[in-house]
Structure 1
Protein backbone atom coordinates (compact mmCIF):
# COMPACT_ATOMS: atom_id res chain seq x y z
CA UNK A 1 0.00 0.00 0.00
CA UNK A 2 1.81 3.13 -1.27
CA UNK A 3 1.33 6.54 0.36
CA UNK A 4 0.75 9.73 -1.64
CA UNK A 5 0.76 13.39 -0.72
CA UNK A 6 -2.89 14.27 -0.13
CA UNK A 7 -2.47 17.83 1.17
CA UNK A 8 0.29 20.43 0.96
CA UNK A 9 -0.37 23.33 3.31
CA UNK A 10 1.59 26.27 4.75
CA UNK A 11 3.25 25.66 8.09
CA UNK A 12 0.96 28.27 9.64
CA UNK A 13 -2.13 26.08 9.06
CA UNK A 14 -3.11 24.13 12.17
CA UNK A 15 -3.62 20.49 11.16
CA UNK A 16 -3.85 19.09 14.67
CA UNK A 17 -7.67 18.96 14.73
CA UNK A 18 -7.88 17.18 11.40
CA UNK A 19 -5.14 14.73 12.42
CA UNK A 20 -7.10 13.86 15.57
CA UNK A 21 -10.14 13.18 13.40
CA UNK A 22 -8.11 10.82 11.22
CA UNK A 23 -6.86 9.08 14.33
CA UNK A 24 -10.43 8.63 15.60
CA UNK A 25 -11.38 7.17 12.25
CA UNK A 26 -8.26 4.93 12.29
CA UNK A 27 -7.14 6.24 8.91
CA UNK A 28 -3.45 5.48 8.16
CA UNK A 29 -1.56 8.74 7.67
CA UNK A 30 1.54 10.74 8.51
CA UNK A 31 2.58 14.40 8.37
CA UNK A 32 5.96 15.62 7.22
CA UNK A 33 7.60 18.99 6.58
CA UNK A 34 9.04 19.61 3.12
CA UNK A 35 10.26 22.85 1.52
CA UNK A 36 8.48 25.06 4.02
CA UNK A 37 5.19 23.17 3.77
CA UNK A 38 3.49 20.52 5.82
CA UNK A 39 2.50 17.48 3.80
CA UNK A 40 -0.21 15.02 4.77
CA UNK A 41 0.39 11.52 3.41
CA UNK A 42 -2.20 8.74 3.17
CA UNK A 43 -2.62 5.49 1.21
CA UNK A 44 -3.27 6.13 -2.48
CA UNK A 45 -6.46 4.06 -2.36
CA UNK A 46 -8.16 6.51 0.01
CA UNK A 47 -6.42 9.77 -0.93
CA UNK A 48 -9.53 11.31 -2.54
CA UNK A 49 -11.65 10.42 0.48
CA UNK A 50 -9.14 12.06 2.82
CA UNK A 51 -9.00 15.18 0.63
CA UNK A 52 -12.83 15.42 0.60
CA UNK A 53 -12.93 14.94 4.35
CA UNK A 54 -10.53 17.85 4.84
CA UNK A 55 -12.64 20.09 2.62
CA UNK A 56 -15.63 19.40 4.88
CA UNK A 57 -13.84 19.36 8.24
CA UNK A 58 -10.56 21.34 8.01
CA UNK A 59 -10.57 21.87 11.78
CA UNK A 60 -11.47 18.27 12.46
CA UNK A 61 -14.33 17.44 14.81
CA UNK A 62 -13.38 19.08 18.14
CA UNK A 63 -16.87 18.59 19.59
CA UNK A 64 -16.99 14.98 18.38
CA UNK A 65 -20.35 15.48 16.71
CA UNK A 66 -19.60 12.95 13.98
CA UNK A 67 -20.79 9.42 14.67
CA UNK A 68 -17.75 7.29 13.93
CA UNK A 69 -18.19 3.55 14.44
CA UNK A 70 -15.69 2.16 16.90
CA UNK A 71 -13.65 -0.68 15.48
CA UNK A 72 -14.07 -3.86 17.50
CA UNK A 73 -11.19 -4.64 19.81
CA UNK A 74 -10.07 -8.18 20.31
CA UNK A 75 -8.89 -9.12 23.76
CA UNK A 76 -6.00 -11.54 23.74
CA UNK A 77 -7.14 -14.74 25.48
CA UNK A 78 -5.54 -15.47 28.82
CA UNK A 79 -3.11 -18.34 29.28
CA UNK A 80 -5.85 -20.41 30.94
CA UNK A 81 -8.18 -19.83 27.99
CA UNK A 82 -5.45 -20.78 25.50
CA UNK A 83 -4.70 -23.89 27.53
CA UNK A 84 -8.29 -25.11 27.11
CA UNK A 85 -7.61 -25.45 23.38
CA UNK A 86 -4.06 -26.76 23.79
CA UNK A 87 -4.43 -29.61 26.29
CA UNK A 88 -1.88 -31.91 24.64
CA UNK A 89 0.66 -29.08 24.40
CA UNK A 90 0.13 -28.27 28.06
CA UNK A 91 0.39 -31.95 29.00
CA UNK A 92 3.85 -32.35 27.42
CA UNK A 93 5.02 -29.12 29.03
CA UNK A 94 3.71 -30.24 32.43
CA UNK A 95 5.54 -33.56 32.10
CA UNK A 96 8.73 -31.68 31.24
CA UNK A 97 8.33 -29.46 34.29
CA UNK A 98 7.68 -32.42 36.59
CA UNK A 99 10.68 -34.32 35.24
CA UNK A 100 12.78 -31.18 35.55
CA UNK A 101 11.83 -30.93 39.21
CA UNK A 102 12.38 -34.64 39.95
CA UNK A 103 15.78 -34.69 38.23
CA UNK A 104 16.87 -31.34 39.70
CA UNK A 105 17.44 -30.25 36.09
CA UNK A 106 20.20 -32.77 35.55
CA UNK A 107 21.73 -33.08 39.00
CA UNK A 108 19.84 -36.15 40.25
CA UNK A 109 21.51 -38.99 38.34
CA UNK A 110 19.45 -41.67 40.11
CA UNK A 111 16.28 -40.23 38.59
CA UNK A 112 17.82 -39.29 35.26
CA UNK A 113 18.95 -42.86 34.57
CA UNK A 114 15.32 -44.01 34.61
CA UNK A 115 14.53 -41.83 31.57
CA UNK A 116 17.71 -41.76 29.50
CA UNK A 117 18.00 -43.49 26.13
CA UNK A 118 20.53 -45.89 27.63
CA UNK A 119 20.48 -47.03 31.23
CA UNK A 120 23.75 -46.43 33.07
CA UNK A 121 25.53 -46.67 36.38
CA UNK A 122 28.27 -44.51 37.82
CA UNK A 123 31.49 -46.28 38.65
CA UNK A 124 33.91 -43.89 40.30
CA UNK A 125 34.37 -41.03 37.85
CA UNK A 126 33.06 -43.00 34.88
CA UNK A 127 29.64 -43.84 33.49
CA UNK A 128 28.98 -47.36 32.27
CA UNK A 129 26.08 -47.62 29.82
CA UNK A 130 23.81 -50.63 29.42
CA UNK A 131 23.32 -51.76 25.80
CA UNK A 132 20.02 -50.65 24.32
CA UNK A 133 19.08 -54.20 23.38
CA UNK A 134 19.30 -55.26 27.03
CA UNK A 135 16.99 -52.45 28.13
CA UNK A 136 14.46 -53.21 25.39
CA UNK A 137 14.57 -56.91 26.22
CA UNK A 138 13.70 -55.95 29.80
CA UNK A 139 10.62 -54.11 28.51
CA UNK A 140 11.99 -50.58 28.94
CA UNK A 141 10.56 -49.29 25.65
CA UNK A 142 9.84 -45.89 27.14
CA UNK A 143 13.55 -45.07 26.84
CA UNK A 144 13.09 -44.52 23.11
CA UNK A 145 10.93 -41.47 23.87
CA UNK A 146 11.57 -40.13 27.39
CA UNK A 147 14.89 -38.32 26.75
CA UNK A 148 12.77 -35.49 25.32
CA UNK A 149 11.58 -34.78 28.88
CA UNK A 150 15.11 -34.38 30.30
CA UNK A 151 16.57 -30.90 30.53
CA UNK A 152 19.91 -29.78 31.91
CA UNK A 153 19.45 -26.31 33.37
CA UNK A 154 16.63 -23.81 33.74
CA UNK A 155 17.51 -21.97 30.52
CA UNK A 156 17.42 -25.23 28.56
CA UNK A 157 13.96 -26.02 29.91
CA UNK A 158 12.61 -22.47 29.53
CA UNK A 159 13.67 -22.06 25.91
CA UNK A 160 12.46 -25.49 24.82
CA UNK A 161 9.20 -25.04 26.72
CA UNK A 162 8.55 -21.65 25.13
CA UNK A 163 9.06 -22.97 21.61
CA UNK A 164 7.03 -26.12 22.22
CA UNK A 165 4.16 -23.96 23.43
CA UNK A 166 4.41 -21.75 20.36
CA UNK A 167 4.67 -24.54 17.78
CA UNK A 168 2.71 -27.29 19.52
CA UNK A 169 -0.50 -25.34 19.98
CA UNK A 170 -0.44 -24.30 16.32
CA UNK A 171 -0.47 -27.94 15.24
CA UNK A 172 -2.96 -28.91 17.93
CA UNK A 173 -5.40 -26.20 16.83
CA UNK A 174 -5.13 -27.33 13.19
CA UNK A 175 -4.75 -31.12 13.43
CA UNK A 176 -5.96 -31.98 16.93
CA UNK A 177 -4.45 -33.28 20.16
CA UNK A 178 -3.97 -36.88 19.02
CA UNK A 179 -2.00 -35.84 15.95
CA UNK A 180 0.20 -33.52 18.02
CA UNK A 181 0.99 -36.28 20.52
CA UNK A 182 1.67 -38.71 17.67
CA UNK A 183 4.01 -36.28 15.93
CA UNK A 184 5.76 -35.49 19.22
CA UNK A 185 6.43 -39.18 19.89
CA UNK A 186 7.54 -39.79 16.30
CA UNK A 187 9.94 -36.84 16.30
CA UNK A 188 11.26 -37.88 19.70
CA UNK A 189 11.88 -41.46 18.55
CA UNK A 190 13.66 -40.44 15.34
CA UNK A 191 15.78 -37.67 16.89
CA UNK A 192 16.76 -39.77 19.93
CA UNK A 193 17.81 -42.76 17.85
CA UNK A 194 19.66 -40.56 15.35
CA UNK A 195 21.63 -38.92 18.17
CA UNK A 196 22.48 -42.33 19.64
CA UNK A 197 23.54 -43.69 16.24
CA UNK A 198 25.71 -40.62 15.59
CA UNK A 199 27.38 -40.08 18.95
CA UNK A 200 27.24 -43.54 20.51
CA UNK A 201 26.56 -44.10 24.21
CA UNK A 202 26.16 -40.68 25.82
CA UNK A 203 23.83 -38.58 27.94
CA UNK A 204 21.49 -36.36 25.97
CA UNK A 205 18.00 -34.97 26.37
CA UNK A 206 15.61 -32.14 25.70
CA UNK A 207 12.76 -31.22 23.42
CA UNK A 208 14.92 -29.57 20.79
CA UNK A 209 14.82 -32.51 18.36
CA UNK A 210 11.03 -32.50 18.64
CA UNK A 211 10.97 -28.72 18.18
CA UNK A 212 12.84 -28.91 14.90
CA UNK A 213 10.39 -31.60 13.83
CA UNK A 214 7.44 -29.33 14.62
CA UNK A 215 9.15 -26.46 12.82
CA UNK A 216 9.73 -28.54 9.68
CA UNK A 217 6.16 -29.84 9.80
CA UNK A 218 4.64 -26.35 9.98
CA UNK A 219 7.03 -25.00 7.34
CA UNK A 220 6.34 -27.57 4.60
CA UNK A 221 2.66 -28.01 5.47
CA UNK A 222 2.15 -24.25 5.09
CA UNK A 223 3.88 -24.20 1.71
CA UNK A 224 1.57 -26.88 0.32
CA UNK A 225 -1.70 -26.13 2.11
CA UNK A 226 -1.58 -22.54 3.44
CA UNK A 227 -3.30 -22.08 6.77
CA UNK A 228 -3.12 -19.14 9.23
CA UNK A 229 -2.29 -21.50 12.11
CA UNK A 230 0.97 -22.56 10.46
CA UNK A 231 2.03 -19.15 9.16
CA UNK A 232 5.31 -18.50 10.97
CA UNK A 233 7.05 -15.13 10.81
CA UNK A 234 9.87 -15.41 8.26
CA UNK A 235 12.36 -14.22 10.90
CA UNK A 236 11.49 -17.15 13.19
CA UNK A 237 12.21 -19.74 10.52
CA UNK A 238 15.45 -18.04 9.48
CA UNK A 239 16.59 -17.71 13.09
CA UNK A 240 15.97 -21.39 13.86
CA UNK A 241 17.79 -22.54 10.72
CA UNK A 242 20.71 -20.18 11.36
CA UNK A 243 20.93 -21.44 14.95
CA UNK A 244 21.02 -25.01 13.61
CA UNK A 245 23.96 -24.15 11.34
CA UNK A 246 25.80 -22.35 14.17
CA UNK A 247 25.38 -25.37 16.45
CA UNK A 248 26.62 -27.72 13.73
CA UNK A 249 29.70 -25.55 13.25
CA UNK A 250 30.82 -26.35 16.81
CA UNK A 251 30.97 -22.68 17.80
CA UNK A 252 28.38 -23.04 20.57
CA UNK A 253 30.30 -25.89 22.19
CA UNK A 254 33.60 -24.01 21.86
CA UNK A 255 32.35 -21.03 23.85
CA UNK A 256 31.32 -23.22 26.77
CA UNK A 257 27.63 -24.07 26.28
CA UNK A 258 28.24 -27.82 26.35
CA UNK A 259 27.73 -30.45 23.70
CA UNK A 260 24.85 -29.89 21.29
CA UNK A 261 22.74 -32.81 20.02
CA UNK A 262 23.14 -31.81 16.37
CA UNK A 263 22.07 -35.20 15.01
CA UNK A 264 18.80 -34.91 16.95
CA UNK A 265 18.18 -31.43 15.54
CA UNK A 266 18.90 -32.34 11.92
CA UNK A 267 16.97 -35.63 11.99
CA UNK A 268 14.05 -33.91 13.74
CA UNK A 269 13.92 -31.24 11.06
CA UNK A 270 14.07 -33.81 8.24
CA UNK A 271 11.32 -36.06 9.63
CA UNK A 272 9.22 -32.96 10.37
CA UNK A 273 9.58 -31.79 6.77
CA UNK A 274 8.52 -35.26 5.64
CA UNK A 275 5.37 -35.33 7.79
CA UNK A 276 4.62 -31.76 6.70
CA UNK A 277 4.94 -32.91 3.09
CA UNK A 278 2.52 -35.81 3.62
CA UNK A 279 0.05 -33.71 5.61
CA UNK A 280 0.22 -30.79 3.21
CA UNK A 281 -0.32 -32.98 0.14
CA UNK A 282 -3.23 -34.77 1.80
CA UNK A 283 -4.95 -31.51 2.76
CA UNK A 284 -4.27 -30.03 -0.66
CA UNK A 285 -5.95 -32.97 -2.37
CA UNK A 286 -8.83 -32.89 0.09
CA UNK A 287 -9.47 -29.20 -0.65
CA UNK A 288 -9.28 -29.81 -4.39
CA UNK A 289 -11.73 -32.73 -4.29
Structure 2
Protein backbone atom coordinates (compact mmCIF):
# COMPACT_ATOMS: atom_id res chain seq x y z
CA UNK A 1 0.00 0.00 0.00
CA UNK A 2 1.49 3.37 -1.07
CA UNK A 3 1.60 6.26 1.37
CA UNK A 4 1.64 10.00 0.65
CA UNK A 5 2.50 13.16 2.55
CA UNK A 6 -0.88 14.64 3.41
CA UNK A 7 0.35 17.51 5.61
CA UNK A 8 3.58 19.49 5.77
CA UNK A 9 3.59 21.85 8.75
CA UNK A 10 6.18 23.96 10.60
CA UNK A 11 7.74 22.32 13.63
CA UNK A 12 6.12 24.97 15.84
CA UNK A 13 2.62 23.65 15.01
CA UNK A 14 1.33 21.25 17.68
CA UNK A 15 0.16 18.16 15.80
CA UNK A 16 -0.19 15.91 18.87
CA UNK A 17 -3.94 16.44 19.29
CA UNK A 18 -4.68 15.52 15.68
CA UNK A 19 -2.39 12.49 15.90
CA UNK A 20 -4.31 11.28 18.97
CA UNK A 21 -7.53 11.64 16.98
CA UNK A 22 -6.08 9.49 14.17
CA UNK A 23 -5.04 6.91 16.75
CA UNK A 24 -8.58 6.81 18.18
CA UNK A 25 -9.93 6.32 14.67
CA UNK A 26 -7.24 3.66 14.02
CA UNK A 27 -6.07 5.46 10.88
CA UNK A 28 -2.64 4.20 9.69
CA UNK A 29 -0.19 7.09 9.81
CA UNK A 30 3.31 8.21 10.73
CA UNK A 31 4.97 11.58 11.34
CA UNK A 32 8.50 12.38 10.20
CA UNK A 33 10.71 15.46 10.33
CA UNK A 34 12.14 16.64 7.02
CA UNK A 35 13.81 19.91 6.04
CA UNK A 36 12.57 21.74 9.14
CA UNK A 37 8.97 20.55 8.72
CA UNK A 38 6.85 17.83 10.29
CA UNK A 39 5.28 15.61 7.66
CA UNK A 40 2.19 13.46 8.16
CA UNK A 41 2.09 10.31 6.00
CA UNK A 42 -1.10 8.28 5.40
CA UNK A 43 -2.25 5.69 2.82
CA UNK A 44 -2.94 7.33 -0.51
CA UNK A 45 -6.52 6.07 -0.69
CA UNK A 46 -7.57 8.04 2.42
CA UNK A 47 -5.36 11.13 2.02
CA UNK A 48 -8.20 13.47 1.03
CA UNK A 49 -10.33 12.31 3.96
CA UNK A 50 -7.48 12.92 6.39
CA UNK A 51 -6.82 16.37 4.91
CA UNK A 52 -10.50 17.29 5.30
CA UNK A 53 -10.49 15.95 8.84
CA UNK A 54 -7.53 18.18 9.72
CA UNK A 55 -9.30 21.24 8.28
CA UNK A 56 -12.23 20.56 10.64
CA UNK A 57 -10.27 19.38 13.69
CA UNK A 58 -6.71 20.76 13.58
CA UNK A 59 -6.41 20.38 17.35
CA UNK A 60 -7.96 16.93 17.31
CA UNK A 61 -10.86 16.09 19.59
CA UNK A 62 -9.50 16.62 23.13
CA UNK A 63 -12.97 16.50 24.70
CA UNK A 64 -13.86 13.35 22.71
CA UNK A 65 -17.07 14.86 21.38
CA UNK A 66 -16.91 12.83 18.18
CA UNK A 67 -18.79 9.56 18.27
CA UNK A 68 -16.10 7.12 17.09
CA UNK A 69 -17.10 3.44 17.31
CA UNK A 70 -14.64 1.20 19.10
CA UNK A 71 -13.16 -1.22 16.62
CA UNK A 72 -13.04 -4.88 17.43
CA UNK A 73 -9.68 -6.16 18.58
CA UNK A 74 -7.87 -7.77 15.69
CA UNK A 75 -7.39 -11.50 16.03
CA UNK A 76 -3.78 -12.57 16.21
CA UNK A 77 -3.04 -14.74 13.16
CA UNK A 78 -2.56 -18.43 13.92
CA UNK A 79 0.62 -20.34 13.23
CA UNK A 80 -0.63 -21.79 9.92
CA UNK A 81 -1.63 -18.33 8.73
CA UNK A 82 1.77 -16.94 9.73
CA UNK A 83 3.44 -19.71 7.74
CA UNK A 84 1.36 -18.83 4.70
CA UNK A 85 2.65 -15.25 4.82
CA UNK A 86 6.24 -16.20 5.72
CA UNK A 87 7.12 -18.89 3.18
CA UNK A 88 10.75 -17.81 2.71
CA UNK A 89 11.38 -17.56 6.45
CA UNK A 90 9.87 -20.99 7.02
CA UNK A 91 11.79 -22.42 4.05
CA UNK A 92 15.18 -21.36 5.43
CA UNK A 93 14.31 -22.81 8.83
CA UNK A 94 13.15 -26.05 7.21
CA UNK A 95 16.53 -26.34 5.46
CA UNK A 96 18.26 -25.85 8.82
CA UNK A 97 16.16 -28.66 10.31
CA UNK A 98 16.94 -30.99 7.40
CA UNK A 99 20.68 -30.28 7.59
CA UNK A 100 20.53 -30.67 11.37
CA UNK A 101 18.98 -34.12 10.94
CA UNK A 102 21.44 -35.17 8.20
CA UNK A 103 24.47 -34.03 10.19
CA UNK A 104 23.03 -35.18 13.56
CA UNK A 105 23.51 -31.58 14.77
CA UNK A 106 27.20 -31.55 13.97
CA UNK A 107 28.02 -35.03 15.23
CA UNK A 108 28.24 -36.76 11.85
CA UNK A 109 31.40 -35.44 10.18
CA UNK A 110 30.95 -37.69 7.15
CA UNK A 111 27.84 -35.70 6.15
CA UNK A 112 28.70 -32.34 7.65
CA UNK A 113 31.59 -31.84 5.22
CA UNK A 114 29.04 -31.30 2.44
CA UNK A 115 27.98 -27.99 4.01
CA UNK A 116 31.13 -26.55 5.62
CA UNK A 117 32.97 -23.49 4.29
CA UNK A 118 35.98 -25.68 3.48
CA UNK A 119 35.71 -29.29 2.46
CA UNK A 120 37.65 -31.65 4.70
CA UNK A 121 38.48 -35.26 5.38
CA UNK A 122 39.18 -37.00 8.66
CA UNK A 123 42.57 -38.68 9.00
CA UNK A 124 42.78 -40.47 12.32
CA UNK A 125 42.31 -37.86 15.01
CA UNK A 126 42.96 -34.98 12.63
CA UNK A 127 40.95 -33.00 10.10
CA UNK A 128 42.60 -32.05 6.82
CA UNK A 129 40.92 -29.09 5.09
CA UNK A 130 40.84 -28.45 1.36
CA UNK A 131 42.07 -24.92 0.47
CA UNK A 132 39.31 -22.48 -0.46
CA UNK A 133 40.61 -21.79 -3.97
CA UNK A 134 40.66 -25.52 -4.76
CA UNK A 135 37.07 -25.93 -3.60
CA UNK A 136 35.88 -22.94 -5.65
CA UNK A 137 37.83 -24.14 -8.69
CA UNK A 138 35.96 -27.46 -8.36
CA UNK A 139 32.65 -25.55 -8.54
CA UNK A 140 31.77 -25.84 -4.85
CA UNK A 141 30.41 -22.29 -4.63
CA UNK A 142 27.56 -23.32 -2.36
CA UNK A 143 30.06 -23.61 0.50
CA UNK A 144 30.22 -19.82 0.74
CA UNK A 145 26.71 -19.76 2.25
CA UNK A 146 25.79 -23.26 3.46
CA UNK A 147 27.58 -23.02 6.84
CA UNK A 148 24.53 -21.04 8.00
CA UNK A 149 22.55 -24.32 7.85
CA UNK A 150 24.91 -26.20 10.21
CA UNK A 151 24.15 -26.18 13.94
CA UNK A 152 25.99 -27.77 16.82
CA UNK A 153 23.40 -29.02 19.27
CA UNK A 154 19.69 -28.58 19.83
CA UNK A 155 20.00 -25.35 21.86
CA UNK A 156 22.10 -23.75 19.11
CA UNK A 157 19.48 -24.61 16.50
CA UNK A 158 16.51 -23.63 18.69
CA UNK A 159 17.85 -20.20 19.64
CA UNK A 160 18.95 -19.31 16.12
CA UNK A 161 15.69 -20.62 14.68
CA UNK A 162 13.61 -18.57 17.10
CA UNK A 163 15.41 -15.33 16.24
CA UNK A 164 15.37 -16.00 12.50
CA UNK A 165 11.61 -16.59 12.67
CA UNK A 166 11.16 -13.29 14.51
CA UNK A 167 13.43 -11.13 12.34
CA UNK A 168 12.94 -12.90 9.01
CA UNK A 169 9.16 -12.54 9.11
CA UNK A 170 9.48 -8.78 9.63
CA UNK A 171 11.65 -8.35 6.54
CA UNK A 172 9.54 -10.72 4.46
CA UNK A 173 6.36 -8.86 5.42
CA UNK A 174 7.76 -5.46 4.45
CA UNK A 175 10.22 -6.19 1.63
CA UNK A 176 9.03 -9.52 0.26
CA UNK A 177 10.30 -13.09 0.08
CA UNK A 178 12.88 -12.49 -2.67
CA UNK A 179 14.53 -9.69 -0.71
CA UNK A 180 14.64 -11.79 2.45
CA UNK A 181 16.32 -14.68 0.62
CA UNK A 182 18.77 -12.30 -1.06
CA UNK A 183 19.67 -10.61 2.24
CA UNK A 184 20.02 -13.98 3.98
CA UNK A 185 22.47 -15.23 1.33
CA UNK A 186 24.40 -11.96 1.36
CA UNK A 187 24.69 -11.90 5.16
CA UNK A 188 25.73 -15.54 5.19
CA UNK A 189 28.40 -14.94 2.53
CA UNK A 190 29.90 -11.94 4.33
CA UNK A 191 29.74 -13.40 7.84
CA UNK A 192 31.19 -16.76 6.73
CA UNK A 193 34.05 -15.14 4.87
CA UNK A 194 34.75 -12.82 7.82
CA UNK A 195 34.99 -15.81 10.13
CA UNK A 196 37.24 -17.68 7.70
CA UNK A 197 39.48 -14.62 7.26
CA UNK A 198 39.75 -14.22 11.04
CA UNK A 199 40.07 -17.82 12.23
CA UNK A 200 41.43 -19.65 9.18
CA UNK A 201 40.63 -23.30 8.44
CA UNK A 202 38.22 -24.24 11.25
CA UNK A 203 34.75 -25.74 11.60
CA UNK A 204 32.07 -23.11 12.13
CA UNK A 205 28.40 -22.78 11.35
CA UNK A 206 25.03 -21.44 12.37
CA UNK A 207 22.61 -18.66 11.53
CA UNK A 208 23.98 -16.21 14.09
CA UNK A 209 25.97 -14.16 11.57
CA UNK A 210 22.84 -13.88 9.44
CA UNK A 211 20.80 -12.94 12.51
CA UNK A 212 23.08 -10.02 13.31
CA UNK A 213 22.75 -8.97 9.67
CA UNK A 214 18.96 -9.02 9.91
CA UNK A 215 19.12 -7.11 13.20
CA UNK A 216 21.37 -4.40 11.75
CA UNK A 217 19.18 -4.16 8.65
CA UNK A 218 15.96 -3.68 10.62
CA UNK A 219 17.64 -1.28 13.06
CA UNK A 220 19.05 1.19 10.51
CA UNK A 221 16.13 0.83 8.08
CA UNK A 222 13.71 1.71 10.90
CA UNK A 223 15.72 4.79 11.89
CA UNK A 224 15.57 6.16 8.34
CA UNK A 225 12.12 4.98 7.25
CA UNK A 226 9.95 4.13 10.28
CA UNK A 227 7.43 1.34 9.88
CA UNK A 228 5.63 -0.81 12.47
CA UNK A 229 6.99 -4.00 10.86
CA UNK A 230 10.56 -3.06 11.80
CA UNK A 231 9.83 -1.57 15.23
CA UNK A 232 11.90 -3.79 17.51
CA UNK A 233 11.55 -3.47 21.28
CA UNK A 234 14.53 -1.45 22.52
CA UNK A 235 15.35 -4.22 24.98
CA UNK A 236 15.83 -6.72 22.13
CA UNK A 237 18.34 -4.50 20.36
CA UNK A 238 20.22 -3.76 23.59
CA UNK A 239 20.28 -7.43 24.57
CA UNK A 240 21.68 -8.54 21.20
CA UNK A 241 24.38 -5.86 21.24
CA UNK A 242 25.32 -6.61 24.85
CA UNK A 243 25.56 -10.31 23.97
CA UNK A 244 27.87 -9.41 21.08
CA UNK A 245 30.13 -7.43 23.41
CA UNK A 246 30.20 -10.27 25.95
CA UNK A 247 31.15 -12.74 23.22
CA UNK A 248 33.90 -10.46 21.98
CA UNK A 249 35.25 -10.13 25.52
CA UNK A 250 35.76 -13.90 25.72
CA UNK A 251 33.61 -14.20 28.84
CA UNK A 252 30.96 -16.35 27.13
CA UNK A 253 33.54 -18.90 26.01
CA UNK A 254 35.14 -18.93 29.46
CA UNK A 255 31.91 -19.93 31.20
CA UNK A 256 31.42 -22.97 28.99
CA UNK A 257 29.49 -21.92 25.88
CA UNK A 258 32.26 -23.11 23.59
CA UNK A 259 33.96 -21.17 20.83
CA UNK A 260 31.92 -18.26 19.47
CA UNK A 261 32.13 -17.11 15.83
CA UNK A 262 32.70 -13.48 16.80
CA UNK A 263 33.99 -12.41 13.38
CA UNK A 264 30.81 -13.78 11.76
CA UNK A 265 28.67 -11.79 14.22
CA UNK A 266 30.54 -8.55 13.61
CA UNK A 267 30.68 -9.06 9.84
CA UNK A 268 26.95 -9.83 9.73
CA UNK A 269 26.06 -6.77 11.83
CA UNK A 270 28.16 -4.41 9.69
CA UNK A 271 26.80 -5.62 6.34
CA UNK A 272 23.26 -5.58 7.79
CA UNK A 273 23.65 -1.96 8.90
CA UNK A 274 24.93 -1.12 5.41
CA UNK A 275 21.97 -2.72 3.61
CA UNK A 276 19.61 -1.10 6.12
CA UNK A 277 21.20 2.26 5.30
CA UNK A 278 20.78 1.75 1.56
CA UNK A 279 17.25 0.39 1.87
CA UNK A 280 16.12 3.02 4.35
CA UNK A 281 17.45 5.91 2.24
CA UNK A 282 15.87 4.47 -0.91
CA UNK A 283 12.51 3.94 0.78
CA UNK A 284 12.56 7.39 2.36
CA UNK A 285 13.29 9.00 -0.99
CA UNK A 286 10.58 6.96 -2.70
CA UNK A 287 7.98 8.06 -0.12
CA UNK A 288 8.98 11.69 -0.53
CA UNK A 289 8.37 11.68 -4.29
Give TM-score, length-normalised by structure 2.
0.76
How do residues 102-181 of structure 1 correspond to structure 2 at under 5 angstroms?
A: 102-181=102-181
Asked if 1:82 is matched to 2:82, the reply is: yes
Deviation of 1:73 (Å): 2.3
Look up the SS of the partner of 1:238 in the other structure.
helix
Partner of 1:94: 94
The separation in 1 between residues aligned to 2:74 and 2:158, in whole angstroms, is 28
Unaligned runs of 5+ in 1: 1-45, 50-68
The separation in 2 between residues aligned to 1:228 and 1:129, in whole angstroms, is 46
The separation in 2 between residues aligned to 1:81 and 1:89, in whole angstroms, is 13
The separation in 2 between residues aligned to 1:95 and 1:113, in whole angstroms, is 16
The separation in 2 between residues aligned to 1:173 and 1:190, in whole angstroms, is 24
The separation in 2 between residues aligned to 1:84 and 1:47, in whole angstroms, is 41
The separation in 2 between residues aligned to 1:245 and 1:197, in whole angstroms, is 20
Deviation of 1:123 (Å): 1.1
The separation in 2 between residues aligned to 1:155 and 1:242, in whole angstroms, is 20
Query: How big is each residue's C-alpha offset from its partner over 1:165-212, in whole Å with a ceiling of 9 and x where there is no partner?
Result: 000010000000000000000000000000000000000000000000
Deviation of 1:48 (Å): 8.5
Look up the SS of the partner of 2:127 in the other structure.
strand
Asked if 1:215 is matched to 2:218, the reply is: no
Partner of 1:202: 202
Look up the SS of the partner of 1:128 in the other structure.
strand
Deviation of 1:70 (Å): 6.5
Partner of 1:270: 270
The separation in 1 between residues aligned to 2:187 and 2:276, in whole angstroms, is 12
- Whichever of the two has the greater Rg, that structure is 1
Partner of 1:251: 251
Deviation of 1:214 (Å): 0.2
Look up the SS of the partner of 2:191 in the other structure.
helix
Look up the SS of the partner of 2:280 in the other structure.
helix
The separation in 1 between residues aligned to 2:62 and 2:170, in whole angstroms, is 39
Partner of 1:26: none
Query: How big is each residue's C-alpha offset from its partner over 1:206-241, in whole Å with a ceiling of 9 and x where there is no partner?
Result: 000000000000000000000110000000000000
Partner of 2:187: 187
- Give the count of matched residue pairs: 227
Deviation of 1:47 (Å): 11
